[in-house]
Amino acid sequence: MPLQGKQLQGVGTGGGSSSTSDFSDWKLLKVADITSTSDSGGLETSKAMSGNEFQFRGSAPSGSNLSNPNDGCLYNFALTDPDTGSAVDPTAGSIVGVEFYLKFGTNVPNAQNEQCNVGVWNGTNGNFGGFKHNNTAQQVTGGTYTAQVVTTHSHSSNNVYLVRVDAMDEDGTSDALIGPVNTVAFDDAGSPAKMKARVTSNAQDLGGTFTLALVFAGDCDVTVYYRLISTPTNPFS
């Protein structure tokens, strides 16, 4: 069933208040909510929902080092507040980031150039994180649209992946600071313990209209939720 409320919310222990209003509810990414597709390589064969699971069927690029987001089939989703349905603009100052939570089903990136990445971008560039198989191994990933850094991680059936992409106003200008990205592999969703992590140093000053992105190459079954990280509530009062 869909995640409820503010699950995975951190709890403050330093004497200040910790409010669930710092996070929105989780929202499921669904085929019906796709706003546009970028698939220059013609990878997609089909896409469908099975319950809460997004099922992508398609190929992966042929060749070496073709496992970055720009090498996959990318689906755009509107960046909206799960609590209100209203559009959100990172340049407006109301959020500081977006978190994605992924759990794979039967089909997982497990062959050369297969991937499942999520991100925040403006249609040209942005920051992404997720899980992929490069030329030789499965990896936890993070980086930009065209270049990612990786940590080798062998997927197990109960593993879940948390991807945080910073997305916030950049000094009151019309641009937003997108990134860096933190991607963490947990052993399971019930009582998650960190197994592997990949933190990137990439942060980009970007303008334009921002959307959420979900990128595939190769057959993949995955349930993906996202939530917004709001500007902090006041712990000093």
Residue 1 forms part of a structural domain: no
Instruction: Please state whether 85 falls in left (phi above 0), alpha (psi between -120 and 50) or beta.
Output: left
- Domain CATH code at residue 141: 2.60.120
pLDDT of 157 strictly over 50 = yes
Q: Which amino acid is at 33?
A: D
**pLDDT tens digit sequence for 65-81:** 999 999 999 999 999 99
Residue 2 forms part of a structural domain: no
Residue 14 forms part of a structural domain: no
**pLDDT tens digit sequence for 97-136:** 999 999 999 999 999 999 999 999 999 999 999 999 999 9
pLDDT of 215 strictly over 90 = yes
Looking from the CA of 74 toward its CB, the CA atoms found within 13 Å total 25
Residue 6 forms part of a structural domain: no
- pLDDT at 96 (0 to 100): 96
| Among candidate residues 91, 93, 90, the one with its CA nearest the CA of residue 79 | 90
Residue 236 forms part of a structural domain: no
Residue 151 forms part of a structural domain: yes
Torsion of CA 53, 215, 224, 218, to 10 degrees: 40
pTM of the shown model: 0.91
Residue 171 forms part of a structural domain: yes
Q: How many folded domains does the chain comprise?
A: 1
Q: How confident is residue 9, by pLDDT bands cut at 50, 70 and 90?
A: very low
Range of the domain at 75: 21-230
> Rounded to whole angstroms, how far apart are CA atoms 229 and 95?
6
**Across all residues in the chain, what is the average pLDDT?**
90
Mean pLDDT on 195-204? 83
Residue 218 forms part of a structural domain: yes
Q: Which amino acid is at 43?
A: L
